[in-house]
């Protein structure tokens, strides 16, 4: 299959910017893509064959892609004659192509529509809130500015700028510079070097990764191993491919990127290998805390620091997945980070010390995009201030109320959040994101009937949307409505037996039955099939271990918990469950020690097991 770059530079109206430190150096902007941060995912909108499309802007993706659901949504024809083998963090995955007759992205000057544009089609792993990914065949057409903190990606052509500082916005601010590798026809990735604990590492700049992470190989070279004191469990990572990988969270003394020195950086690390032979992936958290200009022609990145934490991890107990998938196991903190950890000092070149100049939003859209970016950095109060301005300027836009409602919800102001979701739905009765979030709040407020009615309305609006139906089942599960969750998982699993997310649905249905303590043999069958169809990670082992514990098969429960600990040695959930199983077997000393260790790692871990009616007091 021959995949070409989209001819984005052709026949466009250019907007010239002032010369940069030289009368001959010119930048010409040909696109300004509005970016809405959904958590730490940068989303852009476009149109395919007359229908609105939502994409993840992924600087780490070699080519733009659509999900299988996206292909159906836009009425496209799959081309199975051009099969591809795509490799990601999870190994290899088969893909094919499709062609969109009409394609456009919001923010291209002149509103140009492109014709007969190819996309790679890669399952439904990224389906749900997005229809696909915009990759480097679009984003690296020329030069790219990533200004995620202001909610925008700008595309430029540059002329006669060799040797010049292309961070045109910098004023007197420090500018760090990273040399990047030349791209090839096969690889358009943005790859440079950094220094971690005085060891050189190879770094990929990747907006498709929600939180930056290191390979375990690079972490060990820097002197950090998972079994060391102070290292904690941090979920799993996955993406393209079948496999997932365990993650740990650790502190590193220094990280030097282009002359910017970050001390005491808290970074995730995992035993991950990829075709790029990379040591680190700098994700959307890094892009939110910096403004970057990437010049492929000059093979350099110029960037300035926005302020605040560089790697704002928020809650260290999050599960992280590559591309668009990111699940929070707990609500994020309502406070923005004020610690001096992760704060960089920039010493690059001969730039004078200063802070980044503030870019004041001019209209409601800019305030909303700025607010979403602040929310992505967990500064929900700052986000609300910007959403207030957006609503004052444009009170008829449902998205303004929805975004403020999200910020209120994350800052634990449920009544204000509900008011905003209701306001959004009054303005736009079928505003799906507001409908889903209102359902969440209704379940939180024990209004199961109201939530069920809203969910059924959502499904009626898009009756064939398997991702929505799976998401609803998961929401019922997460709020403890296990009977309703089982019912909805039953329906989804029967309709989607070949979906690559089947193991997730089976595993979660297994948990629902285990939490209720009913149909445990059926739950065990779900767990076993999930293990067969899935990657066999610590999460799956923990689930099956709990089912064995409830069934009274203590030896197998202990075996699974210990197998999980080999993958994730400091998992609080695993240690607590192992302790309960050991108490049940009569191993009092070992059981009490593991339970105490688990509680020290996560003081709330006992609450999870008590909801399943599993406590030390109930272990004879």
Q: Which residues contact 447 (CB under 8 A, 6 or more apart)?
A: none
Q: Which range is most confident: 23-32, 111-120, 503-512?
A: 503-512
Report CA-CA distances (Å) from 561 to 14, 311, 319, 346, 573: 60, 31, 19, 45, 9
Helix boundaries (H) for 18-108: 68-73
Average pLDDT over residues 160-165: 88
Given this model, what pLDDT does residue 565 score?
92
Q: What confidence category does residue 340 fall into, taking pLDDT thresholds of 50, 70 and 90? A: very low
User: What would the pLDDT profile of 404-432 be if each residue is shown by its tens digit?
Assistant: 999 999 999 999 999 999 999 999 999 99
* Integer Cα distance of 55 and 519 in angstroms: 41
Q: Kindly report the number of other CB atoms within 10 A of residue 445's CB atom.
A: 13
* Integer Cα distance of 402 and 330 in angstroms: 21
Give the alpha-carbon dihedral of 459, 461, 465, 471, to 10 degrees: -40
Do 311 and 286 touch, CB atoms closer than 8 A? yes
pTM for this predicted structure: 0.86
Given this model, what pLDDT does residue 372 score?
96
Given this model, what pLDDT does residue 235 score?
75
* Integer Cα distance of 54 and 149 in angstroms: 19
Would you say residue 390 has pLDDT above 50? yes
Q: For helices 572-585 and 588-601, what crossing angle results, to 10°? A: 160
The single-letter DSSP state of residue 259 is T
Q: What confidence category does residue 2 fall into, taking pLDDT thresholds of 50, 70 and 90? A: very low
What is the sign of the dihedral through the CA atoms of 46, 51, 55 and 61?
negative
The answer to which of 19-28, 39-48, 159-168, 176-185 has the lowest mean pLDDT is 19-28
Place of tokens 């997005």: 130
Report CA-CA distances (Å) from 348 to 63, 154, 592: 33, 24, 53
Do 106 and 45 touch, CB atoms closer than 8 A? yes
User: What would the pLDDT profile of 183-234 be if each residue is shown by its tens digit?
Assistant: 766 667 899 999 999 999 999 999 998 889 999 999 999 999 888 888 888 7
Place of tokens 């890669």: 122
Do 299 and 179 touch, CB atoms closer than 8 A? yes
Given this model, what pLDDT does residue 494 score?
96
What DSSP line would sit under 101-161, residue for residue? EEEEETTBTT---EEEEEEEE--STTBTTBSEEE-HHHHTSSEEEEEGGGTEEEEEEEES-
Do 133 and 64 touch, CB atoms closer than 8 A? yes
The answer to which of 159-163, 199-203, 437-441, 555-559 has the lowest mean pLDDT is 159-163
The two tokens of residue 253 are 């003394």
- Tell me the helix, strand and coil percentages in the chain, rounded to 5: 35, 25, 40
* Integer Cα distance of 42 and 60 in angstroms: 12
* Integer Cα distance of 348 and 345 in angstroms: 9
Q: Which residues contact 303 (CB under 8 A, 6 or more apart)?
A: 167, 175, 176, 178, 258, 260, 290, 291, 292, 293
pLDDT averaged over the chain?
A: 84
Given this model, what pLDDT does residue 327 score?
26
User: What would the pLDDT profile of 574-593 be if each residue is shown by its tens digit?
Assistant: 999 999 999 999 999 999 99
For residue 470, with 0-12 CB atoms within 10 Å meaning exposed, 13-18 middle and 19 or more buried, which class applies?
Answer: buried
The two tokens of residue 63 are 């080519």
Would you say residue 486 has pLDDT above 80? yes
Would you say residue 101 has pLDDT above 60? yes
Given this model, what pLDDT does residue 187 score?
66
User: What would the pLDDT profile of 42-89 be if each residue is shown by its tens digit?
Assistant: 999 999 999 999 999 999 888 888 988 899 999 999 887 776 656 555
Query: Which helix H or strand E contains 470, and what residues bound it?
Result: helix 466-478
Distance from the Cα of residue 203 to its chain's centroid: 18
Given this model, what pLDDT does residue 617 score?
81
Could you tell me which of 101, 35, 96, 44 has the C-alpha nearest to residue 68? Answer: 96
Percent of the chain whose pLDDT exceeds 70 = 83
Q: Is 481 helix (H, G, I), strand (E, B) or coil?
A: coil
Percent of the chain whose pLDDT exceeds 90 = 59
> Which has the higher per-residue pLDDT, 337 or 99?
99
Would you say residue 237 has pLDDT above 80? no
- The distance in angstroms from the start CA to the end CA of the chain is 63
- Which value, in Å, is the radius of gyration of the alpha carbons in the chain? 24
Q: Which residues contact 73 (CB under 8 A, 6 or more apart)?
A: 51, 131
Would you say residue 332 has pLDDT above 50? no
For residue 327, with 0-12 CB atoms within 10 Å meaning exposed, 13-18 middle and 19 or more buried, which class applies?
Answer: middle
Given this model, what pLDDT does residue 92 score?
57
Q: Which residues contact 339 (CB under 8 A, 6 or more apart)?
A: 309
Could you tell me which of 449, 450, 394, 448 has the C-alpha nearest to residue 422? Answer: 450
Q: What confidence category does residue 341 fall into, taking pLDDT thresholds of 50, 70 and 90? A: very low
Given this model, what pLDDT does residue 246 score?
83
Given this model, what pLDDT does residue 136 score?
85
User: What would the pLDDT profile of 306-315 be if each residue is shown by its tens digit?
Assistant: 988 888 556 4
Q: Kindly report the number of other CB atoms within 10 A of residue 39's CB atom.
A: 22
Would you say residue 110 has pLDDT above 80? no
The two tokens of residue 196 are 């971690």
Q: Kindly report the number of other CB atoms within 10 A of residue 197's CB atom.
A: 17
Given this model, what pLDDT does residue 324 score?
25
Average pLDDT over residues 546-573: 94
Query: Which helix H or strand E contains 101, and what residues bound it?
Result: strand 91-105
Q: Is 60 helix (H, G, I), strand (E, B) or coil?
A: coil
Given this model, what pLDDT does residue 272 score?
77
Would you say residue 399 has pLDDT above 50? yes
Do 296 and 191 touch, CB atoms closer than 8 A? no
């Amino acid at each position: 299959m021959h995949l070409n770059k989209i001819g984005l530079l052709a026949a466009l109206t250019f907007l010239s910017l002032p010369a940069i430190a030289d009368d001959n150096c010119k930048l010409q902007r040909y696109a300004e893509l509005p970016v809405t941060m959904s958590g730490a995912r940068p989303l852009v909108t476009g149109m395919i064959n007359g229908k609105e499309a939502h994409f993840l802007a992924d600087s780490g993706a070699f080519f733009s892609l659509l999900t299988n659901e996206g292909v159906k949504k836009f009425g496209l024809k799959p081309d199975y004659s051009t099969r591809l083998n795509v490799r990601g963090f999870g190994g290899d995955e088969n893909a094919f192509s499709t062609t969109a007759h009409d394609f456009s992205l919001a923010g291209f000057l002149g509103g140009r529509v492109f014709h007969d544009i190819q996309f790679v089609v890669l399952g439904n792993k990224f389906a749900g809130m997005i229809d696909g990914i915009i990759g480097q065949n679009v984003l690296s057409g020329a030069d790219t500015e990533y200004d995620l903190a202001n909610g925008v990606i700008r595309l430029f052509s540059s002329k006669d700028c060799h040797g010049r500082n292309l961070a045109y916005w910098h004023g007197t601010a420090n500018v760090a510079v990273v040399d990047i590798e030349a791209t090839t026809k096969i690889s358009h990735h943005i790859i440079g070097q950094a220094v971690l604990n005085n060891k050189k590492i190879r770094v990929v700049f990747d907006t498709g990764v929600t939180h930056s992470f290191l390979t375990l190989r690079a972490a060990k070279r820097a002197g950090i191993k998972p079994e060391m004191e102070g290292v904690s469990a941090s979920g799993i990572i996955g993406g393209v491919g079948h496999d997932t990988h365990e993650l740990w969270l650790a502190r590193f003394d220094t990280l030097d990127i282009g002359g910017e020195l970050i001390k005491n950086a808290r970074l995730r690390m995992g035993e991950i290998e990829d075709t790029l032979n990379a040591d680190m992936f700098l994700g959307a958290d890094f892009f939110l805390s910096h403004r970057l200009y990437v010049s492929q022609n000059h093979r350099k990145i110029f960037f300035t620091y926005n302020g605040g934490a560089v790697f704002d991890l928020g809650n260290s107990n999050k599960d992280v997945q590559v591309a668009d998938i990111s699940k929070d196991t707990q609500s994020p903190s309502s406070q923005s980070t004020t610690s001096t950890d992760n704060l960089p000092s920039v010493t690059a070149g001969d730039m004078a010390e200063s802070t980044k100049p503030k870019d004041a939003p001019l209209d409601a859209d800019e305030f909303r995009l700025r607010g979403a970016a602040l929310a992505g950095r967990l500064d929900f109060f700052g986000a609300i201030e910007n959403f207030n301005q957006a609503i004052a300027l444009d009170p008829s836009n449902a998205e303004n109320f929805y975004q403020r409602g999200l910020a209120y919800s994350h800052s634990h102001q449920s009544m204000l959040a509900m008011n905003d979701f209701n306001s959004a739905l009054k303005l736009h009765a079928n505003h799906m994101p507001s409908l889903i979030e209102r359902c969440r709040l209704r379940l939180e407020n024990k209004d199961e009937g109201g939530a069920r009615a809203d969910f059924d309305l959502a499904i009626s609006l898009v009756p064939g949307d398997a991702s929505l139906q799976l998401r609803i089942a998961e929401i019922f599960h997460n709020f403890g409505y296990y009977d309703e969750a089982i019912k909805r998982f039953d329906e989804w699993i029967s309709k989607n037996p070949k979906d690559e997310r089947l193991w997730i649905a089976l595993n979660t249905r297994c948990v629902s039955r285990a939490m209720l303590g009913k149909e445990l043999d059926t739950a065990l069958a779900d767990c076993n099939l999930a293990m067969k169809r899935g990657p066999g990670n610590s999460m799956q082992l923990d689930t099956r271990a709990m089912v064995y514990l409830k069934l009274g098969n203590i030896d197998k429960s202990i075996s699974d918990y210990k197998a999980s600990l080999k993958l994730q040695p400091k998992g609080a959930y695993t240690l607590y469950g192992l302790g309960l199983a050991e108490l049940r077997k009569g191993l009092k000393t070992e059981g009490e020690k593991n339970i105490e260790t688990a509680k020290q790692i996560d003081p709330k871990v006992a609450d999870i097991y008590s909801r399943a009616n599993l406590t030390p007091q109930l272990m004879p």
